[in-house]
Structure formats: structure tokens, C-alpha cells
Structure 1
């Protein structure tokens, strides 16, 4: 088994929900971290308040350098667009108040990096309690004719938003799950198709061109489906992860039975393919650190130096 070594640490104070490296040159050493904090109202007179901080950071000579902090509502997910759009490097963030916020990564006159807000949109539809839980860009295979964002929420809904002329517009919305829709992912080979995972243990597949009802559904996971990852190199390949501590590899034409599966010893929060090669998989487990799997889902390495979830 491979050995993973800690190079440096940075304390975000609040719980770190999402960490994403910038995928675009020359900023591959830049990343963002979104955090979450639940401030309980002990008086019981008002709702609990969820706050967060978006960190812009750089990894340089085995050090983490904080470039910027942005206070906002609690952050549940953030993702960089895979490619530049109109020469902009874009970051999307979803929050605990149902917001979808787009930032651009830019250098100021002194060549310092900044995150500047481009636009935002609310998916709450007037509801007080609506957490935007996850998001995905449609640009996984670097095709940018039409740029869309998929966003899931705590009501069980999935929303498709189009990004055009520096604005967001909701184009599609449906009730995908009976409880929280923890995760949504585009099929990068056909971005009219989306996959969703919910707290009802279901992995659903939708074709947004024809229906607001799932065209395929799987109940193989025995707990909430929390993570999905399409494969931009291999068509019909999908990963799923769940509170049931299992990672499953699927042929999306056969959602009744996975190709293979493995138990990672902790509920799965996020899954990522290794960029470019897609021959390894990084898994963030809620109570059992991080795992690196090969493309047959065998565990090649573990990292367990975190002291919390």
C-alpha cells in the first residue's frame, strides 16, 4: 500500500465542506475551501444561523498561503468551471440559504489574485429553509457551446441553470427525491442527462429533454447516496458513494447492478477521479479519513491524520 505524507496544514476554524483545485493554467497551484458553521439560537426565538467563509488559497513551497477570505452563508459545495468562459476563470458556490454564486478569478493591477462576484441566483423559490447542497458544471468534456449548472437542494429538488452573458437563469426544476437531494452530476457525454443521489437511498437518472420523472432508478445503496462522479474519458462510467460506506462503479446503461464495489470504512462525502488519467479515485470518508482507490476499486492508500469528520 502507498504511503501518504502530510506536507503542511491550515486550520480553517469552521468545518471545511469543500476543497477544489483550480483546473486552469497558470493557476494549478491555487485552490478554494468552503466552510460551514451552525450557530444555534439558544433562546429558541429565531432559526439557527448557518455561516461560512470562502478561502482562496495557494500551495507554494510546501506551504498553504491564504490569499483572500470572503464571509458568506454556510457553503455546502463549490466547483471551478473546467474551462474558461469568455476568457473568465469561473467558480460556482452553493450556500445554506439556497444561493448559487458565480465568482471569477482575476489578477488585480498589482498581480494579486482576487475572487470577484459575477452573478448569483436563488433556487429557494421563496421557501425559508432551502439549502443548496451540491453543484456540477456541464463542461466536463471541455465543450462550451451552452454552459449549464446543476444544483441539488434540501427539499429533494434538482435545478438546471444556464450561465449566459454573465447571468444565471433556471431552465429546469424537478422533485427528484423524497428527502434531501445530496448530490447531482451531469453525464459529461450527454449533458441533457443528469444523475442524482438522495437521502431516500436512490440513485436516479433524468433526461431533462423529455421528463421531470426519473428514466432509471437504482436502490442498490442501503443508505443515502451522497456522492456521484461522471467520467470524462470513458462513456457510460459513473461512480457513486453513500452513507452505507460503499463506493460503487457503474455502467450507466445497467443501473440495476454495479460493475464492482468496495467498502471504505466510513460514509462517503466526496469522490474524485484523478485528473487527466482517471486511473485512480480519491474518496473522502466521513469517519475514516481519505482513501485512494484504483480503477477496480481496490484500496491503494489511506490517510487518517484528520482529527474530526
Structure 2
């Protein structure tokens, strides 16, 4: 089979392959479910409660032979999951996953190869399926805001930089703020937060070439740059030339100064951050671009993966600025919010294609395909 689909039961909005060398077949999927039930009041009409958002982190192993398949290894309960990212640096030979949730927390989970338990912290995480060769153990949960604030996105600073610790995390919050988490010995602590946008900042992302620089964008139609060494009351730049909200930003891991930016206006733009007010080039991808992911392998550094919400998932060739859609995956029956490349060097039957995972929301589905 050239594709595989699995029912995640709850709506799925985030998927991430592990980048560590011996774990390229491991991926996680985050879910988000809104509980709209009301409290029953015997003396009057139903009284609406605060909306409860609940989710899970689902852990899978991807199999590519003899055909594409997902083996579920584990799942645990959380508030609704909005974003997840694996750290590209392992400490103590342990891969670390960060999860952004709907109650203002970033939860860190570590992959352990030997038999281990999931240690509950701020949120009572529950194992419902266990592993034969390892599992995720909850290491730490950091409150970035009060529990009525959503952590919308997160990114690690350490993708390109060697470090004795995990690096830092930038997180965007539904109250318009950004939160910076920094390492203190073996833990991440909330270092500072600041008001960055007038409406929801859907995305915050590091410049992978400069651990002092952060980019953010949101529903105020503004993309901003920040130098965390300076006064955070003033961004380093503001790009106001968007016609719709900014949803996703990723720094290029192999080309300095280059970022990809997606928006609700169905367009992906490539910027040189030295001239951040005008894109180098742009392409319409249809449906709204919720996530962009540069290919993790240097030999395909020109390739970009896009979760296009209403129009499936697509791969885009950015060679020499001539943007071309090279693959359109149409298997999704609903909003495609999450997508990621596998870092595996394996190639499908010798063809220059990479395993991709993507997920969609209302049909609660996780897909494997080649792009």
C-alpha cells in the first residue's frame, strides 16, 4: 500500500516523528476534543460550565515493510494537545518530547528504552497501552500561564547548536503572549513572558541559526521578530503586509536567514530574515497553511511539507526560488492540521521519497504516505 490510515478516536491536530537516530520509526500524535456538556441545575436552566478541552498523546511505531502500518505502543491522557516537538538534542541518551496543552502547560516526556513507568506530574497522565521496548515517561510539566490560557505552539532552540542541555523553548499563548523557558541544571524553567500580539499568536519559532532570535505571528495579521537579549517591549521588526492571520513559521535548518511562513490566506511565503518585510517568493497552496516543515535531510533541503487544512497535505519544491507543488495527498476527510517528515534514510523501493505522517481533525485520522 502507498498509504495507511488509522482512527485516532479523538480529533487529531499534531504529529511528530522522533529525530533521534535509533528512533526514526517512532512518532507521536496529539488530539484535541472539546467537551461542551453543561451542568444540570434543578432550580433553573442548564448552567454552562467552563469549556473542558481534553486530549491524548498517542505513541506509534511506523512499519514500512511489507506495507505501511502503524503499531500503537502507548497513549496517555492530557488536557487537549495543541502542539508537540521532539528536541533534536538527546541528554543522557534520552530523546525528549515537549507537549503544549490547553491548560497553560508545557509537559516534557522522555523516551526510555528499558521498561519504565509514566510518572504523573501536574497532570495525571495515564498509560493505557504499554511498550515492549520502551515508553515515554513524564519528566516535568511547566506552567507557562494560568489554566484558562492555551499554549498554542512551541519550538526548541537547539536544533542546530550543540549543547550540554536540552536548550530553550519558546511558546505562544492564547492571551497574546510569548513565554520563554530556559534550562536550569536538569530542568526547564519559565524565564520570562511578554505581550507580543493583540490576538492569538498561532506560532512562535526560533531562528535555528541564532538562539537569541525568535519569530512569531498571529491573528493580528502581523509577523514579528524578537531578540531575547533586548527589551521585549519592542520587536526587532513588524511585517504588517499579510491579508490573513499567520499560522506557521519554521527556520530553515540548512540555509541561514531563510524562513517559511504560512497563513490563513492559503499562501506559503519564503523570507530572507535580513529583509523581513517582503517575501523572496510565495506560492498558493490552497486551504490555509497550518504547518510547514522543511525536510530533515540535507540532500532534500529544498523540499517543504505543508499541512493545508481544507486541501490536504502537499510537498513543495523551493529550488532556486521557483516554488512548485510536487505532491498533493488527498486522503484526508477533514482539516489537515499536522504533518511531519520521517528522518529515516530509508527510501521507498529506491525511489527518492520519504515517509510522511499527517493527521486531520474532525474525521480523527492519522495517515502514513510517501512524499
Q: Please give the range of the TM-score, normalised by the shorter of the 2 chains.
A: over 0.9
Tell me if structure 1 keeps the 8 A contact 2:32–2:80: yes
Answering whether residue 225 of structure 2 is matched by residue 199 of structure 1, we say no
Does 172-181 or 106-115 show the bigger shift?
106-115
Match of 2:5 among 2, 6, 9: 9
2-side partners of 1:167 and 1:103: how far apart? 12
Partner of 2:37: 41
Alignment of 1:66-215 (within 5 A): 66-109=72-115, 111-124=132-145, 127-145=146-164, 147-212=167-232, 213-215=234-236
2-side partners of 1:143 and 1:222: how far apart? 38
Superposition deviation, residue 143 in structure 1: 2.1
Residues 1:128 and 1:78: Cα distance change in structure 2 (over 3 Å): closer
Superposition deviation, residue 85 in structure 1: 2.0
Alignment of 1:202-281 (within 5 A): 202-212=222-232, 213-277=234-298, 278-281=301-304
Tell me if structure 1 keeps the 8 A contact 2:104–2:147: no
Superposition deviation, residue 136 in structure 1: 0.3
2-side partners of 1:81 and 1:232: how far apart? 14
1-side partners of 2:147 and 2:99: how far apart? 19
Tell me if structure 2 keeps the 8 A contact 1:41–1:47: no
1-side partners of 2:161 and 2:17: how far apart? 17
Tell me if structure 1 keeps the 8 A contact 2:81–2:102: yes
Cα distance per residue 1:189-216 (max 9 Å; x no partner):
1111000011101110000101212110
Answering whether residue 329 of structure 2 is matched by residue 303 of structure 1, we say yes
Partner of 1:55: 58
Tell me if structure 2 keeps the 8 A contact 1:134–1:184: yes
Higher-Rg member (1/2): 2
Does 53-62 or 72-81 show the bigger shift?
53-62
Superposition deviation, residue 111 in structure 1: 5.0
Does 259-268 or 36-45 show the bigger shift?
36-45
Answering whether residue 60 of structure 2 is matched by residue 64 of structure 1, we say no
Cα distance per residue 1:39-77 (max 9 Å; x no partner):
103333311110001001001132100000001100000
Structure 1: which 4+ aligned runs deviate by more than 6 Å?
none
Tell me if structure 1 keeps the 8 A contact 2:253–2:294: no
Mind listing any 5+ residue stretches in structure 2 that lack a counterpart?
39-45, 116-130, 336-371
| Count of residue correspondences | 303
Partner of 1:286: 309
Superposition deviation, residue 145 in structure 1: 4.6
Q: Secondary structure at the match of 1:26?
A: helix
Residues 1:281 and 1:198: Cα distance change in structure 2 (over 3 Å): same
CA RMSD of aligned residues (A): 1.4
Mind listing any 5+ residue stretches in structure 1 that lack a counterpart?
none
2-side partners of 1:108 and 1:12: how far apart? 26
Cα distance per residue 1:165-220 (max 9 Å; x no partner):
33221112111100111101101111110000111011100001012121101122
Cα distance per residue 1:88-126 (max 9 Å; x no partner):
2100001000110000011224852210011111111xx
Greater RCO, CA 8 A, separation 6+: 2
